[in-house]
Structure 1
C-alpha cells in the first residue's frame, strides 16, 4: 500500500514539475514575446508611480496581456524599482521586456505634450504640440500670443501636468525683448532684477521645468553665450580690426541684424571689416534703429531722413567705427562669421529681392544695384495694391 501511495505521490510530483515548467515557459514567452499592441500608444509614468499602477495602466491600454506577468518579469530582471517619470511611446508589438526597458532607461520623454515658447524678433508665441503615436511626430494643437487670450486647451494641458517645457530664443532678439517675453510666461516664476547686457544671451532652445526661476534661466543663457565667445575668440582669423571679444560681439550683432541667411554672414562681415580697414563709416541701418528704439520693440517702418541725421551713439552714419555696444543677441553662426569673415574687396551691399543681398566693390556699382532694388520694391508695391481677380 505504501509503495502505491509513494508511487502516486511521485507521479503527482512529476506532473506538477512538468506543469510548473510549462507555466514558467509560457510566462517567459508572454514576457519576452511580441505584445498585443496593433498600434503605438503613449504611456505616462507619474512621479512616484508604483509598478503595480503602471502595469495596470499598460494592461488597460492593451499594451500588455497580463499585469501580473509584467510585474514578475520586471522584478526578476531587477528593474522593478527603476521606473523613470515621463511619457513614453510604446511601439506596436512591443514585448513586456522591451516596455520595461523603455520605462526604466530614463532620458527625455518620447511622447505626450510639449510647450515651446518661441521668443522672436517680431513676436513671441506659445506653441502646444502633442505626439501622434501613429507617426511618432509632434502635431500642433494650438499656437497663441501669451499677452492675449489663453486658449482653454492650453490651460487644461497645463493643469493636467503632463507637459515638457522649452523656450527658444531666435537669433537677433534683444535682451529687453527676452526679459519682456519671459515676464509673460505663466509657467515661470521669480522676478528679473535687471535686463541683462545686450549681446550676453545665447539664442538657442532651452529645456526648462515648470515654475523655473526667470533669473536662473537668464543666468543660464548668459553662461552659454560667454562659453561660446570664450571658445571661438582664440580661434579667430588674424588681422581683424577689432581687438577684444567685446568688440567682436558688437560686430556680430550687426551682422546678425543685417542678414537672416547663414551662408551670407561671412560675406556681410567682410564688408564691414573692409570698411573699418578703409576708415569708412559703417553706415548700417540696424544700428540707427537701435539708437531710436534702444532694443525695446520693433520700429515697424522704414527710417526717416531726419533719423539718419539724428545724433545718437549708435548712428553709424555719423560716428566713426563701432557703436558702443551690441544691438542684439547674436547667434553662434554670426559670431563665427565675424571672427572668420570671407576674403573680399566688397564695400557695399543691398537687398536683391529674394531675401539675400547683392555685393559691390565700388560706389558706382552699388548705386546701380540700389536702383535695381528700388525697381523691385516698386513692383512689389504694385502687386500688393493690385485688385484680386482678372479684368478686361
Structure 2
C-alpha cells in the first residue's frame, strides 16, 4: 500500500524542471529584448543619420520662399512641396534633436541641386537668403523714382504717397523677398537724412545758404546740370559764386521742373515765352534758389555744394564733348559760346551730309546730341 501511495505523489515526469525553464526564459528575454531594442534603435539612428546626410531629390538648384511666422512642420512641408525633401519626418526629428527649430530663418533661398537635409538645415540657420536689388539713379524726381519702385516685381504692398522732392537718396538698395514698397521708400528717405546730417557739420564756412534744405535745393540743380562726376564741384562753384554776387542762377533745369512738375522730361526745347515768364522756378527771372529741389541729388552733388572748390568761374556752356567750358569773365564766356555755336552749326549740318552719304552707299555720320542752354548767356 505504501508503494502505491508513493507512486501517486510523485506526479508526471519533468514537472520539477518547468519553473527553472521559465526562469531561464524570462532571464533571456530580459537580456535579449534590451539588446534587440538597442540594435533596432541603433539601426534606426544610423539609417536616419544616413538619410539626413544623403543627397536630396532636387535635380537642379531650387528657389524656395519660406515666409516669416511658420513653424518647423510648415517649413518641412514647404521644402517637401518644393521637392528638395522627399519626406519630412527625419528632417523634423533631426532639427528637434539638434534644438535648431528656433534658429531656422525665414527668407528666400536657393537650395543647391541634390542638397542633403543637413545642407538645408545649415542654409536655413545661416539665413543667407537671396538678395534682390533696386537702383534709383541720381537726378530722378520723386515721381520718377516711385515709378521704379512700383515696377519692381519682387517688392510687395501698396505704393506709399510720393515723397517730398529731394528727400530720397539715389542708390542701389539690397532687399530680400517680402520687403514692402513702403519699407524701401522709408530706407531711401532715412539714407538721405543720414547723409545730409553727417555731411552738414563738415561744410565749408560762409556758404551763401544757411539750411540743409537750401543745400539740397542747390545740389539738385547741380545734379541736373551735368552728368559728369568730375564736373559737379566746378558747377557747384559757379552757382555758389553767383549766389554770393548776387547773380541769378539762370538754370534751364529749374524752368523745366516748373513746367513739368517733376513728372518727367520736357521732351522739347524751352520756349522763349517760358524763359520770359516769371515763376518761382524760373531762375532767369527770380533771384536766389527755387522754392524746392528739382530732383533727388546723389551723394557727389551734395558733397560738391557743401565743399565747393575756390574758383572765380561765373559761367559755363557745353563744349561739344559731353562736358562744359567754364569762364570767370563774360568775354571769355562769349568766346566759349561762340565755339559752341560752331559745334551746334556742324550738328545741324551733319544730318544733311549723312543723308548724302547714305545715298552714296557710305557709312552715315551720327549727329551730336543737342545740349542744354548755357549758364550766363
TM-score (norm 1): 0.67
Q: Deviations over 1:136-155 (max 9, x none)?
A: xxxxxxxxxxxxxxxxxxxx
Residue aligning to 1:68: 89
Does residue 1:234 correspond to 2:254, yes or no?
no
- Measure, in 1, the Cα distance between the counterparts of 2:229 and 2:112: 38
Residue aligning to 1:90: 111
Does residue 1:25 correspond to 2:46, yes or no?
yes
Structure 2: any 5+ residue segments left out of the alignment? 1-20, 363-377
Q: How does 1:186-265 map to 2 (within 5 A)?
A: 188-189=157-158, 192=161, 197-204=164-171, 222-265=189-232
Displacement of 1:34 in angstroms is: 4.8
Match of 2:259 among 267, 292, 298: 292
Residue aligning to 1:378: 348
Displacement of 1:110 in angstroms is: 1.7
Cα pair distance change 1:75/1:180, threshold 3 Å: closer
Displacement of 1:70 in angstroms is: 0.8
- Measure, in 1, the Cα distance between the counterparts of 2:350 and 2:176: 42
Alignment partner of 1:42: what SS? strand
Residue aligning to 2:100: 79
- Measure, in 1, the Cα distance between the counterparts of 2:65 and 2:150: 30
Q: Deviations over 1:333-372 (max 9, x none)?
A: 3211211224444433333455443444531442244235
Asked if structure 2 preserves the Cα contact closer than 8 Å seen for 1:351 and 1:373, the reply is no
Stretch deviating more after TM superposition (298-307 or 342-351): 342-351
Between Structure 1 and Structure 2, which shows a larger proportion of strand residues? Answer: 1
How many residues in Structure 1 have an aligned counterpart in Structure 2?
335
Residue aligning to 1:311: 278
Cα pair distance change 1:389/1:86, threshold 3 Å: farther
- Measure, in 2, the Cα distance between the counterparts of 1:217 and 1:90: 26
Asked if structure 1 preserves the Cα contact closer than 8 Å seen for 2:108 and 2:177, the reply is no
Alignment partner of 2:101: what SS? coil
Stretch deviating more after TM superposition (364-373 or 201-210): 201-210
Q: Deviations over 1:109-144 (max 9, x none)?
A: 428xx7x8xxxxxxxxxxxxxxxxxxxxxxxxxxxx
Displacement of 1:284 in angstroms is: 1.6
Q: Deviations over 1:201-235 (max 9, x none)?
A: 44456769989697x98777555433332222111
Cα pair distance change 1:69/1:263, threshold 3 Å: farther
Between Structure 1 and Structure 2, which shows a larger proportion of helix residues? Answer: 2
Alignment partner of 2:259: what SS? helix
Displacement of 1:311 in angstroms is: 2.5
Displacement of 1:265 in angstroms is: 1.7
Displacement of 1:6 in angstroms is: 3.6
Match of 2:295 among 315, 328, 350: 328
Cα pair distance change 1:257/1:54, threshold 3 Å: same
Match of 1:110 among 130, 138, 143: 130
Displacement of 1:286 in angstroms is: 0.9
- Measure, in 2, the Cα distance between the counterparts of 1:208 and 1:100: 19
Displacement of 1:251 in angstroms is: 0.9
Alignment partner of 1:252: what SS? helix
Displacement of 1:41 in angstroms is: 0.7
Cα pair distance change 1:388/1:210, threshold 3 Å: farther
- Measure, in 1, the Cα distance between the counterparts of 2:179 and 2:80: 33
- Measure, in 2, the Cα distance between the counterparts of 1:51 and 1:179: 38
Cα pair distance change 1:386/1:259, threshold 3 Å: farther
Displacement of 1:332 in angstroms is: 2.8
Alignment partner of 1:43: what SS? strand
Q: How does 1:142-157 map to 2 (within 5 A)?
A: none
Asked if structure 2 preserves the Cα contact closer than 8 Å seen for 1:34 and 1:93, the reply is yes
- Measure, in 2, the Cα distance between the counterparts of 1:291 and 1:53: 55
Asked if structure 2 preserves the Cα contact closer than 8 Å seen for 1:237 and 1:339, the reply is yes
Q: Deviations over 1:262-307 (max 9, x none)?
A: 3432222122223334544322211222333343543211112333
Match of 1:100 among 113, 121, 126: 121
Residue aligning to 2:64: 43
